[in-house]
């Protein structure tokens, strides 16, 4: 068992993964799928429990994760690669969409962040998109650092700057999107409330703490 496997078993031991998946399924249907076409080739970077790649619809779906246990949570039609995210350049080409959820803050430093963004940019087709969700340091100044593997502090502003320096064009930025799932949450929010929350964006201004950014390769 590697360190990632041990850490995530500790972190999610009190959370129902089935309910977590149902919650993200709603987010994928109502939000993510708007940016993903049926013929797209999609890669989920640091796929974790597969909540994103399992719940979107496209022609070709792939996932990568450094934790080999991630393969256990993926649907059979998803090709899994147990590799480091920095191997994206060698393994993947002509991608239409790259999914990145709660990953960038785990990189060692901003040099690694720049490196990953450049590799992702090269792996995308022209017109390809990177969909990014992550905790916004602007709204989680203390809780952001409650996680042992959070290294890079990011706000929506700082990440947009990094993306634009890489060559991406920002087509969507929501600074307050989803409420942040901290370690005290048990994912007990009724699923009907999640649907209502996504239908009324004015609620995001009061409860959202994770950003959502769509970055396009020209």
| In the chain, where the domains are located | 3-216
Q: CA dihedral defined by 153, 160, 59, 29, rounded to 10 degrees? A: 80
pLDDT in tens, the chain (218 residues): 445 545 444 444 445 577 788 889 999 999 999 999 999 999 999 999 999 999 999 999 999 999 999 999 999 999 999 999 999 988 999 999 999 999 999 999 999 999 999 999 999 999 999 999 999 999 998 888 888 889 999 999 999 999 999 999 999 999 999 998 654 455 567 889 999 999 999 999 999 999 999 999 99
pLDDT tens digits along 150-169: 999 999 999 999 999 999 99
What's residue 10's pLDDT? 45
pTM of the model: 0.89
Identify the pLDDT of residue 16. 58
Is 128 in contact with 216 (CB distance < 8 Å)?
Answer: yes
Q: Which CATH superfamily is domain 3-216 in?
A: Vaccinia Virus protein VP39 (3.40.50.150)
């Amino acid at each position: 068992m590697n360190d990632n496997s041990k850490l995530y078993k500790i972190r999610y031991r009190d959370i129902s993964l089935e309910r977590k998946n149902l919650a993200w399924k709603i987010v994928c249907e109502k939000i993510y799928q708007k940016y993903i076409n049926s013929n797209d080739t999609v890669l989920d970077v640091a796929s974790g429990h597969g909540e994103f790649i399992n719940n979107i619809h496209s022609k070709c779906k792939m996932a990568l994760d450094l934790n080999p246990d991630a393969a256990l949570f993926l649907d059979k039609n998803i090709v899994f690669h147990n590799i480091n995210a920095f191997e994206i350049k060698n393994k993947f080409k002509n991608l239409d969409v790259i999914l990145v959820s709660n990953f960038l803050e785990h990189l060692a430093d901003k040099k690694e962040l720049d490196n990953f963004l450049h590799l992702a940019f090269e792996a995308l087709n022209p017109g390809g998109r990177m969909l990014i969700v992550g905790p916004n340091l602007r709204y989680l100044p203390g809780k952001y650092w409650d996680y042992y593997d959070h290294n890079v502090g990011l706000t929506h502003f700082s990440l947009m700057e990094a993306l634009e320096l890489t060559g991406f064009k920002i087509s969507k930025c929501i600074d307050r999107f989803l409420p942040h799932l901290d370690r005290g949450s048990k994912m007990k929010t009724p699923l009907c409330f999640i649907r209502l929350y996504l239908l009324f964006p004015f609620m995001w201004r009061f409860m959202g703490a994770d950003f959502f950014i769509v970055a396009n390769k020209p």
